[in-house]
Amino acid sequence: MNLLGNHVQRDHCGVGGIAALLLVPVWGWSSSALFWLANIFLDTDHYIHYLYAHRGNNPWSVAAMFRYHQSLFEQAGRPDFLVLEIFHTFEFLGLLGWISFFFWRPLIPVFWGSVFHMVVDFFHLSYHKVTFARAYSFVEYGIRRDRLKKTISASRTDSSTMSLPKSKH
């Protein structure tokens, strides 16, 4: 299995499972299970991203989704790389936390499982020296996307106005 698949199995299933088991004395089995499942299923936004990118092109293959995201991860160090995963944003976590703590308290383990997932991802990305390849906010994504567009536009303009060597004829 590739690096990304190993990360999901080892970190989200394994480490998240250990954390959930440690929470059983405090939260009980059902809330701890919700924590663990939220920690795993927060990555459904990766699948949504894959479905969008591959609509009409065998989009239902989970194995193909892992291969696709592995190929993206291999490009994460490039300066022109930018990705947004909607459930991995501060806005999503803020909304989930707001709903959990003020409107529907049974979601509190889901909120903390999602936070745990983000912390594990942060350490994973930091270990691979691509901590900020992912945008952690819709606002951040918009700003970085606009800067990237300007950079690409400027580089095209610079290359199209370069003077060509004079012909010797």
Predicted confidence at residue 165, as pLDDT, reads 41
Q: What is the pLDDT of residues 57-71, one digit of tens each?
A: 766 777 788 888 788
pLDDT greater at residue 153 or residue 143: 143
Q: What is the pLDDT of residues 3-23, one digit of tens each?
A: 445 666 677 888 899 999 999
Residue 160 pLDDT exceeds 50: no
- Please give the model's pTM, rounded to 2 decimal places: 0.80
Q: Which residue ranges make up each domain of the chain?
A: 3-150
Predicted confidence at residue 53, as pLDDT, reads 81
Nearby residues of 158 by Cβ (< 8 Å), 6 or more positions away:
none
